[in-house]
Amino acid sequence: MTIIDGKLTAQQLRAEIAAEVAEMVAAGQAAPHLVAILVGNNGASMTYVANKEKMCGECGFRSTVLRMPEETTEEQLLAEVERLNNDPEVDGFIVQLPLPKHIDEQRVIEAISPRKDVDGFTPINVGAMVLGLECFVPATPAGILELLKRYNVPTAGKKCAVIGRSNIVGRPMSILLSQKGWDATVTLCHSRTANLAETVAEADIVIAALGIPGFVKANMVKEGATVIDVGITRVEADNARGWKVVGDVDYAEVAPKCSYITPVPGGVGPMTIISLMKNTLLAAKRRK
Ligand code: GUN
């Protein structure tokens, strides 16, 4: 059994990105600039944005966080998005989700210029991804593909079960793995899937992205399977911060059966942030 080390892989990628940025800057170009809009005081969102900001620094990027109060109106947020769309100093930006309930998330996402949509959430980017065209691939699926590639996990002709059909992870993951180059046979499982456990138990690759701690048990996993755990649920814990992050896979039970498995934390999580950096670098290279 091989533990896929997302932390180490992300460090390697960070070094590769930082080297490329150093070359850009030495050639007289401006360093990539990522902006994050953070509306309100959601604790998890504040942590994610702080981590993204830190990683920008480590990659040699410029980064800006625009903090807007919880009471921000949809119109005010849309005005900020429009300003960033037109700001030549900004290569890419993200609007951290979830947004406060009074704001229509989809309307905000659709206002983002696809050229600066480094999350890959706009309909134009999603459509381009589905068609296999040049696009920004959403960060979590991109990070998972990078792990599969760097660990030489075979995907061609393999059965893959993706659990969870979110727009951010499960659905794009299922589409990407079925495309040429990855060539897996994918089943996208969700809350209405009949015989989910049996379907997952037939898979060579299991990608758990449903957000239910410990959902995937040993009896749902084939001997020798590769298991990718995307879960990041905060649960109460007896430590100084009072919480810890747990995955969707019952790791202790499942790991002994696997060829490859990602831990939580230290698996997919670090790869998500670094993939956002890769997209921002790509946006900077495409700037006019
Ligand atoms: N909230 C949780 N994950 C993400 C992400 O990848 N991007 C944005 N913008 N918000 C998120």
Say how many C-beta atoms besides its own lie within 10 A of residue 208's C-beta. 31
What's the DSSP call for residue 117?
B
Residues 185 and 155: beta-carbon distance below 8 Å: no
In the predicted structure, residue 144 carries a pLDDT above the cut 80: yes
Give the pLDDT band (50/70/90) at residue 74.
Answer: very high
Looking at the domain assignment, is residue 9 inside a domain? no
29 is catalytic: no
Ligand 1 center to 97 CA (angstroms): 5
Looking at the domain assignment, is residue 1 inside a domain? no
Nearest to 275, CA basis, from 149, 128, 123, 141: 141
| 187 and 227 together in one domain | yes
96 is catalytic: yes
* Residue from 94, 245, 268 to probe ligand 1 pocket by mutation (most atoms less than 8 Å from CB): 94
Nearest to 266, CA basis, from 228, 212, 218, 210: 228
| 85 and 199 together in one domain | no
In the predicted structure, residue 285 carries a pLDDT above the cut 90: yes
Residues 108 and 128: beta-carbon distance below 8 Å: no
| 147 and 105 together in one domain | no
Percent of the chain past pLDDT 90, that is, above it, reads 99
| 254 and 145 together in one domain | yes
pTM over 0.85: yes
Mean pLDDT score across all residues of the chain? 97
Domain count, the chain: 2
pLDDT for res 223: 98
Looking at the domain assignment, is residue 276 inside a domain? no
d(CA 171, CA 165): 5
Residues constituting the chain: 288
| 205 and 247 together in one domain | yes
Which residues constitute the domain of residue 243?
139-269
The partner residues of 2 in beta bridges, in order of sequence, read 260
Q: Domain of 224: which CATH number?
A: 3.40.50.720
Q: Domain of 42: which CATH number?
A: 3.40.50.10860
Looking at the domain assignment, is residue 122 inside a domain? no
- Spell out which residues line ligand 1, taking CB within 6 angstroms: 94-97, 119, 139, 168
Which alpha helices (H) appear in the chain, and where do they start and end? 6-26, 43-59, 74-85, 105-111, 123-130, 139-150, 170-178, 196-201, 251-254, 268-286
In the predicted structure, residue 288 carries a pLDDT above the cut 90: no
Looking at the domain assignment, is residue 4 inside a domain? no
Looking at the domain assignment, is residue 154 inside a domain? yes
| 157 and 262 together in one domain | yes
Residue range 55-79: mean pLDDT, rounded: 98
d(CA 246, CA 48): 16
| 32 and 151 together in one domain | no
Give the pLDDT band (50/70/90) at residue 220.
Answer: very high
DSSP-derived secondary structure for 32-93: PEEEEEEES--HHHHHHHHHHHHHHHHHT-EEEEEEE-TT--HHHHHHHHHHHHT-TT-SEE
d(CA 146, CA 158): 17
| 183 and 247 together in one domain | yes
pLDDT for res 173: 98
Looking at the domain assignment, is residue 233 inside a domain? yes
